[in-house]
Amino acid sequence: MSQIYDRVALIGLGLIASSIFWASKRNDNSLHITGFSRSEKTRNIARNIGLCDEVADSLEDAVKDADLVILCVPVGAMEQVMLKIAPFLKAGATISDVGSVKRAVINAIEPHLPTDVKFVPAHPLAGTEHSGPESGFASLFDNRWCLLTDHKSADKTAKNKVKNFWKGLGANVEFMDADHHDLVLAVTSHAPHLIAYTMVGVADDLGKVTDSEVIKYSAAGFRDFTRIAASDPIMWRDVFLSNKEATIEILGRFTEELFDLQRAIRTGNGEKLLDYFTHTRSVRREIIEAGQDTDAPNFGRNFDSELD
Amino acid sequence: MSQIYDRVALIGLGLIASSIFWASKRNDNSLHITGFSRSEKTRNIARNIGLCDEVADSLEDAVKDADLVILCVPVGAMEQVMLKIAPFLKAGATISDVGSVKRAVINAIEPHLPTDVKFVPAHPLAGTEHSGPESGFASLFDNRWCLLTDHKSADKTAKNKVKNFWKGLGANVEFMDADHHDLVLAVTSHAPHLIAYTMVGVADDLGKVTDSEVIKYSAAGFRDFTRIAASDPIMWRDVFLSNKEATIEILGRFTEELFDLQRAIRTGNGEKLLDYFTHTRSVRREIIEAGQDTDAPNFGRNFDSELD
């Protein structure tokens, strides 16, 4: 395959950017990748672990020769970064991002886009509960989805190149309308994250049950919530603030349904509970059949050896 | 170690009973274990896969020679089973159970307990989303907690023997008051399960987002909920109906807190969200340090090979 880009710049060096670098090197070692983080500490870590072919000390140096610039910063920081890099972007370059919300990112980037620069918003649906420059790995995007949103300033060539770039990282790529993306993600990601954060907060805050009891007996279901609730706090603050309407809509539906099940418990309506639980079990089956999770019990957790 | 019991009977042959059998055989092959299920199909499967040294066709045959009888049936079926086996229990035998709720099980068993039989309620905090006689495995209880509840009809010898039996299966054992157990489990298990069931139900029920979108893009957090919401429906119906008060109390606290965070989103209170999420992240760290979960990203999920 002929090379899609000669030079790529990654702005922000966390879990996603570092995984893009390692996945890209696995795919095509000749692509030149420059990284930038506003934190000197992060830049030094990146240099020490060989993250990026070059780590730039300024945004200007990072982006000026890049054919593709990927903004890997929290959603709330996108506009500020875009304002700073706009004067230095190369004519014909493409801007992309990895934000978990798309309408807000489009609103942040588009007004500042130089006329000779294309914009192709992207969101790889992949991550772990870890964050920072050392948390990335080459296989993070393998067989995961990367959603690109159709956008007026993106021409077909630019969109195809970003699409092929993500395919090269191992991802499956689809295009989706930005507002629909934000609603779908509110269901599959944003609402579940807020719910997990809430449940972990409640457990930690109960007077009658001690913290140490919650920790000790977490294996009964709660520990799965704590993994989700361990995700990067700044990233998630920005996700909720920039996808307010859809998140609140889904949470409203959730509360309505929770009250309904709570009422079934209170009134002893076992039939309703059994029907509901039987149905939700089938959703799990579909997810496994779609290749989106493992069928191994407990996600195939295997960690007893660490404890011996 | 001298043998604790000569003969054990397992009533009900699902995930927990089958794991007790395999863990027990791993520990001490000379212990004789008889199994019983009211389903002929389950009994035949058990015979085919070598589950139990002997599979009895009646409750009487299953329990009459047993030194320890463990009730491994849903909480709602405990009283009925106890009524049926009470006339056949051997003098000096011990009854135990594996129910996820303790007060309701004590209320179901105690009134029917023959005077020469001891009762030691137990709850192993271990399981997977799979169920049935074929889902058990020997390491299920390794380094997991088994909670025994203090109970007036249990003498010290009977309690110590049940404790040592569970240690032999790989578990760590603690004693806890029944009502406190039910509250702790409402936090670490029952409320999280109901919340997961609810979120999966909502996602499956939305007009604007298709089922196939929910399935395809589940990796963004939702799939963790679907694993919990795939647990045995009958078992969970009975858990909620028999631990009503504690579950509803925790759900009340949860909803209150969820509304508070929802309000922070609506009003754009980023500081509150950031503080909250930073704190919940630290809970995860404590769980990993306590040896209750793996630190591997995404639980160490490794399933791409299945998809190739």
Where in B39-83 does DSSP place strands (E)? 54-55, 68-71
- Give percent above pLDDT 70 in chain B: 95
Tell me whether residue B1 is in a domain: no
Amino acid at site A148? L
pLDDT of residue B42: 98
Q: What's the domain range around B228?
A: 181-291
Are B48 and B141 members of one domain? yes
User: Which one of B202, B220, B230 has the shortest CB-CB distance to A125?
Assistant: B220
Report chain B's terminal Cα–Cα distance, integer Å: 48
Angle between the A233-242 and B270-289 helix axes, to the nearest 10 degrees? 140
CATH code of residue A45? 3.40.50.720
Q: pLDDT band for B153, please (50, 70, 90 cuts).
A: low
A219 domain-assigned? yes
- Do B215 and B75 reside in the same domain of the chain? no
What six digits make up the tokens of B49? 């896969």
Are A201 and A119 in the same domain? Answer: no
Among A98, A146, A213, pick the best mutation site for testing chain B contact (most B Cβ within 10 A). Answer: A213
Q: Which of B149, B176, B203 is the last residue of a domain?
A: B176
With CA atoms as reference, the chain A residue closest to B176 would be A213
| Nearest-by-CA chain A residue for B298 | A128
Question: Of A18-22, A231-235, B117-121, B227-231, which gets the smallest average pLDDT?
Answer: B227-231
Q: How far is CA B77 from CA A40, A161, B12, B103, in A?
A: 63, 61, 10, 14
Q: How far is CA B244 from the centre of its chain?
A: 17
Position B296 in a domain? no
Q: How far apart are CA A164 and CA A171, in angstroms?
A: 9
User: What would the pLDDT profile of B53-106 be if each residue is shown by its tens digit?
Assistant: 999 999 999 999 999 999 999 999 999 999 999 999 999 999 999 999 999 999
Which range, A207-216, B106-115, B228-237, B278-287, is most confident?
B106-115
**Residues B117 and B250 placed together within one structural domain of the fold:** no
Strand ranges inside chain B, DSSP E: 7-11, 32-36, 54-55, 68-71, 94-97, 118-120, 122-124, 145-149, 172-176
Residue recorded with tokens 């389903």:
B39
Residue B302, in any domain of the structure? no
Tell me whether residue A2 is in a domain: no
As beta bridge partners, residue B33 has B8
Asked if residue B163 lies in contact with residue B148, where contact means CB atoms within 8 angstroms, the answer is yes
Say what the ipTM of the complex is: 0.89
User: H/E element holding A92?
Assistant: none
Any domain includes A197: yes
Distance between CA atoms of residues A81 and A68, nearest Å: 15
Minimal Cβ distance to B293: which of A145, A223, A278: A223
pLDDT in tens, B239-269: 999 999 999 999 999 999 999 999 999 999 9
Do A197 and B251 make contact, defined as CB atoms within 8 angstroms? no
Q: What is the pLDDT of residue B306?
A: 36
Cα separation of A228 and A33, whole Å? 30
- Least Cα distance to A195 among A258, A102, A131 occurs for A258
Indicate the range of A200-214, A237-251, B34-48, B242-256 predicted with least confidence.
A200-214
Residue B168: CB atoms within 10 A of its CB come to 18
Fill in the amino acid letter for A186: A
Residue ending a domain, among A176, A204, A236, is: A176
Same domain, B196 and B162: no
Is there a contact between A226 and B287 if contact means CB atoms under 8 Å apart? yes
Number of domains in chain A: 2
pTM for the whole structure: 0.89
Q: Which residues from A are below 8 Å from B250, CB to CB? A: 202, 206
Q: Which of A204, A228, A273 sits opposite B221 (nearest CB)?
A: A228
Summarize pLDDT for A157-180 with one digit per residue, the tens: 999 999 999 999 999 999 999 999
Apex CA B50: angle with CA B45 and CA B53, to 5°?
Answer: 115
* B158 and B49 within one domain: yes
- A208 and A285 belong to one structural domain: yes
β-strand pairing of B7-11 with A32-36: unpaired
Residues B41 and B147 both lie in one domain: yes
Using the predicted structure, report yes or no on whether residue A111 has a pLDDT greater than 80. Answer: yes
For position B276, which CATH number holds? 1.10.3660.10
A68 and A25 fall within a common domain? yes
Retrieve residue B132's tokens.
């049935």
Domain-terminating residue out of A176, A197, A212 = A176
Does A220 fall in a domain?
A: yes
Task: State the best of A218, A247, A269, A274 to mutate against chain B, taking most chain B CBs within 10 Å.
Answer: A218
Asked whether the predicted pLDDT for residue B302 surpasses 80, the reply is no
Confidence of residue B1 (pLDDT cuts 50, 70, 90): very low
Residue B22, amino acid: W
Q: How far is CA B70 from the centre of its chain?
A: 14
Distance in Å, alpha carbon of A158 to nearest chain B alpha carbon:
24
Strands (E), chain A: 7-11, 32-36, 54-55, 68-71, 94-97, 118-120, 122-124, 145-149, 172-176
CA neighbor of A159 nearest in space, from A151, A170, A171? A151
Are B86 and B218 contained in the same domain?
Answer: no
Q: Among partner residues A217, A276, A281, which is closest to B230 by beta-carbon distance?
A: A281
- Between A284 and B47, whose confidence is greater? B47
Beta bridge partners, B308, equal none
Residue with tokens 């504690």: B246
Q: Quick one: A169 and A49 in the same domain?
A: yes
Q: Say if residues B117 and B144 touch (Cβ distance below 8 Å).
A: no
Q: What is the mean pLDDT of residues B163-169?
A: 97
Q: How far apart are the first and last CA of chain A?
A: 48
Strands A118-120 and A94-97, bridge-based pairing? parallel
Q: How confident is the model at residue A194 (pLDDT cuts 50, 70, 90)?
A: very high
Task: Please tell me whether residues A204 and A75 are part of one structural domain.
Answer: no
Within-domain flag for A1: no
How far apart CA B170 and CA B146 sit, in angstroms, is 10
Residue B10 is given by DSSP the state E
Taking CA atoms, what residue in A is nearest to B215?
A287
The beta-carbon neighbor of B220 closest among A188, A204, A208 is A188
A305 interaction partners in chain B (CB closer than 8 Å):
none
